[in-house]
Amino acid sequence: MYNILTLNKISPIGLEKFDKNKYSYASEIENPDAVLVRSASMHEMEFSPSLKAIARAGAGVNNIPLDKCSEAGIVVFNTPGANANAVKELVICSLLLSSRKIVPAIEWAKGLKGEGENVAKLAEKGKSQFVGPELKGKKLGVIGLGAIGILVANAAIHLGMEVYGYDPYISVDAAWGLSRSVKHAKTLGEVYENSDYITIHVPSTPETKGMINSESIQTMKHGVRIMNFARGDLVVKEDILAALDEKAVKVYITDFLEDEFLDHPGVIGLPHLGASTPESEDNCAVMAADELIDFLENGNITNS
C-alpha cells in the first residue's frame, strides 16, 4: 500500500486515479510515500524518510524546497501545460482590461445607483472618461515561450496584435506550435523597446528575479502596459510603483497581490487566479496523479 499526503484540495478526478487497493490518501497521513500539493508551502515541512516523490499540481515549483529534495533523493514533478489554457484566457482578458478601463467603468457605474430614470442620461454624459485603445495593431511583447507564452502569443495574433516573442532558452523559430506571424525578438531589449503591452511567462529563477525594474522600465515605451501572471518577484515592487506614479508604466496587471497594489489606481491586482478554472484544476490533478503512479509503480520519471 502507498500512502499519499494531499496538502491542498485536489480535484476528485485526480484522486480517483489512485486504485483503492494500492493507495490510501489523506490530508494527514503518517509516513507518506508521496505528496500531492498545489500552492501550500513545503519549505518549513519536515520530510519523513519514507517520502520518495512530490507532485505539484501546477507549473511553478517555488513552494517546494528543491535543494532539500535533491539532497534527500526525493523526485519532484510538476504539470507543465496542464493549466496553460486557463492562464492564457486570463491574460487575454487582462490585455482588454488594461486598455478599455472596464474595471473603473464598472465601479463608476455602481455609483449611479439611485438615479432612477436619469441613469441612462448620466451614463452617456460620463462615459467619455472611459475611452481606451483597441488591441488591434498594437505591439505585444511575450517574454517566455513555454506552454502559456505560446498560447498567449497565438491568441494575440488572432486579435490583430503585432507580437514579439522572446525566450532566453528557445528561439521563436524553434517554438513548436507558434504562429509564423510572431516576430522573433533576439534580445529582451528589442521586446522592451517595441512593445505597447508586455506579458511575462518565465519561471522565477536567479536570472529572472527582478527583471522588471527601474533600469529595464527605462528602456520600455513610455506608457507601456505590463501583465504579470508568472511570479510576483519577477517585478521589483518599488520600481513598478514609482514607474506607475511617473506614468512611465500606464497599467500593471498582476496575479500576485501586495498591500501597496490594492489601492493604487494604476494596478489591477488579482488573487493568483490564473489557473483557477475547474478544467485546469482537473487537468493538473490528473497529470500529477498519473506522474506519481507511474513513478511509484514503474519507476518512471516524467516532468521532474
Choice from 18, 199, 274, 295 touching ligand MLT (CB under 6 A): 274
Question: Is residue 175 part of the contact set for ligand MLT (CB under 6 A)?
Answer: no
Strand bridging mode 249-254 / 224-228: parallel
Q: What is the Cα–Cα distance from 238 to 251, expressed in whole angstroms?
A: 15
59 binds ligand MLT (CB under 6 A): yes
Known catalytic residues? 231, 260, 272
Q: Which stretch binds ligand MLT (CB under 6 A): 43-51, 56-64, 65-73, 99-107?
A: 56-64
Backbone angles phi, psi at 66, to 5 degrees: -65, -40
Applying CB under 6 A, does 81 fall inside the site for ligand MLT?
no
CA angle 50, 33, 9 (to 5 degrees): 135
Using CB atoms within 10 Å of the CB of residue 277, give its burial: 0 to 12 exposed, 13 to 18 middle, 19+ buried. middle
Three-class SS of residue 221?
Answer: coil
Task: From 42-50, 54-62, 240-248, 286-294, give the range in contact with ligand MLT by CB under 6 A.
Answer: 54-62
List alpha helices for 73-171, DSSP H.
84-100, 102-110, 119-126, 147-158
Which of 17, 40, 60, 233 lies at the binding interface for ligand MLT (CB under 6 A)? Answer: 60
**Does residue 275 belong to the site contacting ligand MLT (CB under 6 A)?**
yes
d(C-alpha 113, C-alpha 108), whole Å: 10
144 binds ligand MLT (CB under 6 A): no
**83 belongs to the binding site for ligand MLT (CB under 6 A):** yes
Beta bridge partners of 227: 199, 253
Least separation in angstroms between CB 42 and ligand MLT: 13
Q: Which stretch binds ligand MLT (CB under 6 A): 15-23, 53-61, 111-119, 239-247?
A: 53-61
| Residue of 8, 13, 15, 39 that binds ligand MLT (CB under 6 A) | 39
Give me the residues that bind ligand MLT (CB under 6 A), please. 38-39, 58-60, 83, 274-275
